Structure 1
Amino acid sequence: MPVQPEGTPCWADAIFPDLEAAKRFYGELLGWTFGDSAADFGHYTQAYVDGKTVAGVLPRIPGMDGAAAWNLYFASPDARVTAAKIVDNGGTLAMEPMDVADVGTMVTAEDPGGVSFSVWQAGTHPGFEVTGEPGAYAWADLCTREVAETDAFFPSVFPFKVQRIEAEGVDFHLWDVGGDPVIGRLRMTDEFPPGTPPFINVHFTVADVDTAVATVERLGGESVYGPMDSPFGRFATVRDQQGAMFSVIDLQTRVGEVPAFS
């Protein structure tokens, strides 16, 4: 795929305590195959579907704390300019702009409400080579309780146009880039397990959600929410066997009308 417009989710990766276990889990669940681990880059390993890059996995560095979690990257034409915007708008940099050889430049940051995310300025690696197909990235929702801070921050850093859902009891926004919805923002409610920190929930495409959830549970993961039908696809939120939360979605099975946005 070509380099994505600024603010578009363009890549996802995760750090795991047990890299080989993660490869077995996602290989069976999503049909991923894996390239060689790059020793020069912390044994970073790319995942593929039908020979096209869809995500990255890497092992935890000795001494590193924190649970396994998926991390989403937003495209930027200039990572250093975006890093300055992050700081100017109250965010914090967990990693200053770093050139990854000729592959690209990355930044890792948090918004003022504690949502972790990354920025990617493409070099030779533009990001996802395929999306919306089984095994590949489909969508992401930014889930937070600190909606005021998040709503002020992200459209100031990226060129997002905000659309608000018109549905009682639901606090959900769509953020558009150039007229195309690229990510959702969801207010976390009591439906989320107590103590769940804010996070970006990455969705991967599957052909059958119910089968995918059964596979997750058989492989030692757990179901968190769903399966549930929606106008956008049948989906479920799960955790892998190392604790990383994500969703699976069947984009072809849609039930109900898309709600109005304003």
Structure 2
Amino acid sequence: MSKVINHPHGTFCWSELCTHDWAKGKAFYTSLFSWGCDDQLIGDDIYYTMLQKQGDDIAAMYEMPQQQQDETPSHWLTYIAVKNVDECALRAKELGAEIIAGPHDVMDAGRMLLLKEPGGATFALWQGNQHQGCKRLGELNTPYWHELATRNSEKSREFYCQLLGWKSEVKAMQGMDYVLFIANGQPVAGMIEMTDEWPADTPPHWMIYFAVEHCDTAVNRAVELGGQVCVPATDIPEVGRFSVILDPQGAVFSVLQSAMDDVKS
């Protein structure tokens, strides 16, 4: 797939690892996904690292301040592109979201907003300027799919559709209703309802799936690097084979071997 220059409104544009240990987190992911990295000094021995595929930025990571680590586990944060962050901030508050930070400029890279939607999941909005976001999509070892796990699917669906102009479709999948979110005529994300089978202490969240060539190989490699398997490699008919993994610092992500011919090397 050709390189991405611009991310349309309502599409996922960036993924950011917020970790308790920058050095160990970088070693884990660069080894797992064969990523390169560009460490950018942003403070006294503090780096914001661009994670790269063949020199192109596809995600980023940084180490959370100690005071934040005491309250927040390591996690992946997903960003959605919007035309106007400030207008979205006002609308999000009207729709019941909690504004955590912003809107504010990130130097000349763009303007962002961090928020928690009424269903409880945290995510960010991004109005790109010099940095539009991930430069490669639809390729191996890049973010491929985003999935919201929520305890109130109706509330969450209403929020995203009203805020971002998404449409939604319900598909039956393995005995449950799976919601597809549609933007610009294309599926951009999914949503599942968290049942009583989910641990009570698991909060609503956005899950990032990274495309891999072989799911089982990626899982084995993650374990060798110190990761833990949360959901073992599992087949989903017509979709592919996936696994949920906990990295050594406690951040959760998924890998997906797509059954569809839409992922390039």
TM-score by length of 1: 0.92
Residue 184 of structure 2 is aligned to residue 178 of structure 1: yes
CA distance in structure 1 between the aligned counterparts of 2:260 and 2:174, rounded to whole angstroms = 24
Amino acid at match of 1:237: V
Deviates more, 1:219-228 or 1:32-41: 32-41
RMSD, aligned CA: 1.7
How far, CA to CA, are the matches of 1:117 and 1:140 in structure 2? 11
Q: Which residue of 2 aligns with 1:60?
A: 64
Q: What residue ranges of structure 2 are gaps of 5+ in the alignment?
A: none
Shift in alpha-carbon separation, 1:86–1:177, aligned structure 2, 3 A:
same
AA at the equivalent of 2:14: W
Seq. identity, %:
31
Give 1:112-123 correspondences, 5 Å limit. 112-123=118-129
Between the aligned partners of 1:84 and 1:244, the Cα distance in structure 2 is 30
1:204 matched to 2:207: no
Q: Secondary structure at the match of 2:90?
A: helix
> What is the match of residue 256 of structure 2?
249
Q: Which residue of 2 aligns with 1:144?
A: 150
Report the Cα distance in structure 1 between the residues aligned to 2:52 and 2:144, rounded to whole angstroms: 15
- With over 3 angstroms needed to count, the CA separation of the structure-2 counterparts of 1:14 and 1:86, relative to structure 1, is same
- Shift of the 172–31 alpha-carbon distance from structure 1 to 2, 3 Å rule, reads same
Counterparts of 1:199-238 in structure 2, within 5 Å, are: 199-230=205-236, 231-238=238-245
For the residues of structure 1 that align with 2:160 and 2:29, how far apart are their CA atoms? 30
Post-superposition offset of 1:206: 1.1
Structure-2 separation of matches of 1:56 and 1:219 = 19
1:193 to partner: Cα distance = 3.8
Check whether the contact 1:109–1:117 (CA below 8 A) recurs between aligned residues.
yes
Q: What is the rounded CA distance, in whole Å, between the counterparts of 2:198 and 2:30 in structure 1? A: 27
Partner of residue 10, structure 2: 7
Higher mean C-alpha deviation, range 226-235 or range 151-160: 226-235
Match for residue 39 of structure 1? Answer: 42
**Which runs of no fewer than 5 residues in structure 1 stay unpaired?**
255-262
Cα drift, residue 171 of structure 1: 2.4
Q: Deviation at 1:111?
A: 0.5
- Hey, what's the Cα distance between the residues in 1 that align with 2:5 and 2:99? 27
Amino acid at match of 2:54: D
User: For 2:162, what is the secondary structure of its paired residue?
Assistant: helix
Which among 154, 159, 167 is matched to residue 153 of structure 1? 159
SS at match of 1:43: strand
**C-alpha displacement at 1:113, in angstroms?**
1.6
Letter matched to residue 103 of structure 2: P
The partner residue of 1:96 within 95, 102, 106 is 102
TM-score normalised by structure 2 residue count: 0.91
What is the CA deviation profile of residues 73-128 of structure 1, one whole-angstrom value per residue up to 9, with x for unaligned ones? 00011110111111010001100201011100000000012100000000011101
Partners of 2:27 and 2:114 in 1: how far apart? 27
* Deviation sequence 1:119-146 (CA, Å, 0-9, x none): 0000011101001212111011011112
